[in-house]
């Protein structure tokens, strides 16, 4: 449904259902949207220094207009902020602001801030209200929706966290105009993912319209809303990732291993780029196992190349650990169950499925064959 240029997508979870609002000007109007749903609250805004410089004052002013008292917790940008140390800083900041359980943590930023702030809101006072104001494309179409929160450790990505749903998501498409080109491209990988999972027509549409999505306007808003609808449908069916929701991890098992292998160094690899390479690897691995056609893998790789995303391990600057070390990261990934390797593989474009008990020997040979060394 839409109103005054704002698209609304509902995440249906019974009495915990919430809206994703998509459109321009939502940061400036955030106070009114929040006050209408959470009257009388206080808040803590969690953001990073880069986002704060561009968007914080607009959000603060909108909250002030509604009489919402808001403390600010500003952190360094980058994946390394998803840490125990930053989590403690956020928790301490929320408690120092004397916020109560019925108050809210507002995440203003990309996926790192959303995951970290969501985790903090899920554990402080055993669960506070939570509002997502995602400012990156990746966060708007993926990490801000569905309630998965967490931090990284030296053992891997997102291994510590909780499921904690927001009360509202405000995806201001105008905020994307300030993104660096690399960060927008990285978020686009998650857009393409929804087409590759189970919406082949959407992937074909992206192949034809990706330049318009990058340019902004109606095509960009349509693509974001379509991705949010896709994720909302899956979350409504499987909130805690015991079944179909695992499909949303297409490309992530390989991608997370590559992020860990680069030490979460965003100069070398950001999350969306890892997902892009991971999706290409998942399609190539599926073809190797005779589950799909090599033509499908080539089509995925061609689209990623066209939009300027990396699609193979050799596109990552610097040296990577050997295949044995990469495999150890995969084996540590949270998608491993009782020691069995689980991957999201595919029978073709838009025909992904959960593959359990994938032979470790096949994965090792595949990693060695595709390793740039």
Catalytic residue check, 69:
no
Catalytic position from the list 152, 158, 249, 370: 249
Catalytic residue check, 33:
no
The pair of three-digit structure tokens given for residue 167, joined into one six-digit string: 């009360």
pLDDT confidence of residue 224:
97
Cα torsion 352, 357, 362, 368 to 10°: value is 80
Integer Cα distance of 180 and 136 in angstroms: 10
Max CA distance (Å), the chain: 60
| 130 neighbors 232 (Cβ within 8 angstroms) | no
Catalytic position from the list 129, 193, 245, 299: 245
Catalytic residue check, 370:
no
pLDDT confidence of residue 155:
85
Catalytic position from the list 256, 284, 299, 334: 256
Catalytic residue check, 126:
yes
Handedness of CA 164, 70, 97, 107 (dihedral sign): positive
| 196 neighbors 350 (Cβ within 8 angstroms) | yes
pLDDT confidence of residue 358:
92
Catalytic position from the list 82, 148, 283, 284: 148
Q: Which domains does the chain have, with CATH numbers?
A: 2-177 (3.40.50.1970), 182-370 (1.20.1090.10)
Catalytic residue check, 259:
no
Residue keyed to tokens 């890892």: 274
Using alpha carbons, list the distances in angstroms from residue 42 to 34, 105, 191, 239, 365.
11, 9, 34, 28, 54
Catalytic residue check, 249:
yes
Catalytic position from the list 271, 283, 334, 335: 271
pLDDT confidence of residue 56:
98
pLDDT confidence of residue 1:
44
Say which residues have a Cβ less than 8 Å from residue 246's Cβ, sequence separation at least 6.
238, 335, 342, 344, 354
Integer Cα distance of 316 and 72 in angstroms: 35
Integer Cα distance of 312 and 276 in angstroms: 9
Report which of 110, 106, 111, 109 is spatially closest to residue 149, judged by C-alpha positions.
111
Catalytic residue check, 190:
yes
Using alpha carbons, list the distances in angstroms from residue 16 to 139, 147, 344.
21, 11, 28
Catalytic residue check, 50:
no
Catalytic residue check, 148:
yes
Integer Cα distance of 259 and 313 in angstroms: 11
Catalytic position from the list 241, 259, 273, 301: 241
pLDDT confidence of residue 3:
61
Catalytic residue check, 301:
no
| 63 neighbors 72 (Cβ within 8 angstroms) | no
pTM above 0.75, yes or no: yes
Catalytic position from the list 157, 164, 252, 299: 252
Show pLDDT as tens, one digit a residue, over the chain (373 residues). Answer: 456 689 999 999 999 999 999 999 999 999 999 999 999 999 999 999 999 999 999 999 999 999 999 999 999 999 999 999 999 999 999 999 999 999 999 999 999 999 999 999 999 999 999 999 999 999 999 999 999 999 999 888 899 999 999 999 999 999 999 999 999 999 999 999 999 999 999 999 999 999 999 998 889 999 999 999 999 999 999 999 889 899 999 999 999 999 999 998 989 999 999 999 999 999 999 999 999 999 999 999 999 999 999 999 999 999 999 999 999 999 887 556 666 789 999 999 999 999 998 988 999 999 999 999 8
Catalytic position from the list 82, 193, 231, 299: 231
pLDDT confidence of residue 242:
87
Integer Cα distance of 332 and 156 in angstroms: 7
Catalytic position from the list 7, 79, 190, 259: 190
pLDDT confidence of residue 157:
85
């Amino acid at each position: 449904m839409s109103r005054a240029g704002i698209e609304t997508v509902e995440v249906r979870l019974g009495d915990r259902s919430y809206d994703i609002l998509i459109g321009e000007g939502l940061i400036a109007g955030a106070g009114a949207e929040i006050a209408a749903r959470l009257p009388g609250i206080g808040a803590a805004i969690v953001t990073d220094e880069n986002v704060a410089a561009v968007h914080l004052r607009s959000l603060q002013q909108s909250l002030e207009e509604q009489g919402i008292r808001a403390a600010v917790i500003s952190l360094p940008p980058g994946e390394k902020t998803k840490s125990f140390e930053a989590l403690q800083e956020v928790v301490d900041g929320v408690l120092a602001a004397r916020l109560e359980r019925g108050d809210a943590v507002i995440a203003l930023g990309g996926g790192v801030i959303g995951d970290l702030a969501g985790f903090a809101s899920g554990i402080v006072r055993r669960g506070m209200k939570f509002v997502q104001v995602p400012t990156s494309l990746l966060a708007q179409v993926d990490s801000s929706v569905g309630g998965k929160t967490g931090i990284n450790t030296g053992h891997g990505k997102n291994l510590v966290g909780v499921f904690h749903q927001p009360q509202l998501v405000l995806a201001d498409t105008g905020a994307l105009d300030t993104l660096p080109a690399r960060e927008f491209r990285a978020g686009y990988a998650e857009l393409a993912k929804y087409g590759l999972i189970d919406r082949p027509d959407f992937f074909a549409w992206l192949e034809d319209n990706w330049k318009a999505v990058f340019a902004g306007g109606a095509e960009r808003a349509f693509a974001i809303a379509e991705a949010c609808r896709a994720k909302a449908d899956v979350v409504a069916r499987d909130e805690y990732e015991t079944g179909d929701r695992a499909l949303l991890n297409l490309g992530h098992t390989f991608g997370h291993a590559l992020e860990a292998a680069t030490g979460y160094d965003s100069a070398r690899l950001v999350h969306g780029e890892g997902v892009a390479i991971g999706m290409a690897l998942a399609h190539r691995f599926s073809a190797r196992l005779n589950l799909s056609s090599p033509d499908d893998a080539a089509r995925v790789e061609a689209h990623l190349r066209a939009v300027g995303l990396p699609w193979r391990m050799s596109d990552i600057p610097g040296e990577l650990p050997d295949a044995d070390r990469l495999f150890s990261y995969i084996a540590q990934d949270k998608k491993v169950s009782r020691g069995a390797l689980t991957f999201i593989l595919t029978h073709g474009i838009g025909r992904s499925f959960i593959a359990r008990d994938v032979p470790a020997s096949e994965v090792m040979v595949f990693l060695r064959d595709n390793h740039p060394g």
